[in-house]
Amino acid sequence: MALDFVLDPPVDRQLRDGVLALWTDVTNAGGAVGFVPPVTPEDVRPQWVEHLAAMSEGRMRLVAGFEADGSVAATAFITFNAHRLMSHWVWLYTVMVHPRHHGKGYGRALLAACEDAVRDLNRTGPASTDGDAPAYGRDRIEAIRLTCRGGLGLERFYASCGYKEVGRVPDAIRLGDGEYRDDIVMLLPLN
């Protein structure tokens, strides 16, 4: 059964709790999503709150994949660049698929949904802003950029989805004493 991908789903209790549980489960299964296992939902909550704030300010958009019962099974966050010289590309952060769904093609489907969402943003223009808030995403988006943690084969997965490795910082991620991973920069041009 396929997931239903939604750009900017309503932020209600089910979404908040679902993303928090997903992030915790992905981390504890060894996923490279900003933490080192083991974590609890309370460990992850401050980062989730930062994402919620960025979403409310229009700096970030959420693509969520829902199962038939409405539970959150996948997420990715599209983040606009505030720097005027870099507003022609977006970041993709916190790309997650629940471990029970690995191997089902949901990761590819999530990345395709994100690409579609960004292309739709090009067609519809930036989200409206209030008052003096910056207008993120004002320029036409020409590429999607993400980083991934080395040592897990993630760069091969992203490459199979059309992303190209454009940079690598050796040992930029420290998981613990003496345990380092490369930070790999991947890019998907939207031409």
The pLDDT of residue 121 is above 60: yes
Calculate helix-pair angle for 41-56, 13-28, nearest 10 degrees: 130
Domain residue limits, the chain? 4-141
Q: What is the spatial distance between Cα 23 and Cα 66, in angstroms, rounded to a whole number? A: 14
How far out from the chain centre does Cα 183 lie? 16
**Strand 89-97 versus strand 72-80 pairing type:** antiparallel
Name residue, tokens 């959150």: 72
Answer for the pair 181, 149: CB distance below 8 angstroms, yes or no. yes
What is the distance of C-alpha 98 from the center of its chain?
A: 13
Return d(Cα 168, Cα 35) in angstroms, integer: 20
- In DSSP terms, 184 is beta-bridged to 148, 168
The predicted structure's pLDDT at residue 132: 43
The domain at 4-141 falls in which architecture? 3-Layer(aba) Sandwich (3.40)
**pLDDT band of 135, cuts 50, 70, 90:** low
Mean pLDDT within 34-60: 97
Q: Mind listing the pLDDT tens digit for each residue in 122-131?
A: 998 755 444 4
Q: pTM for the full model?
A: 0.93
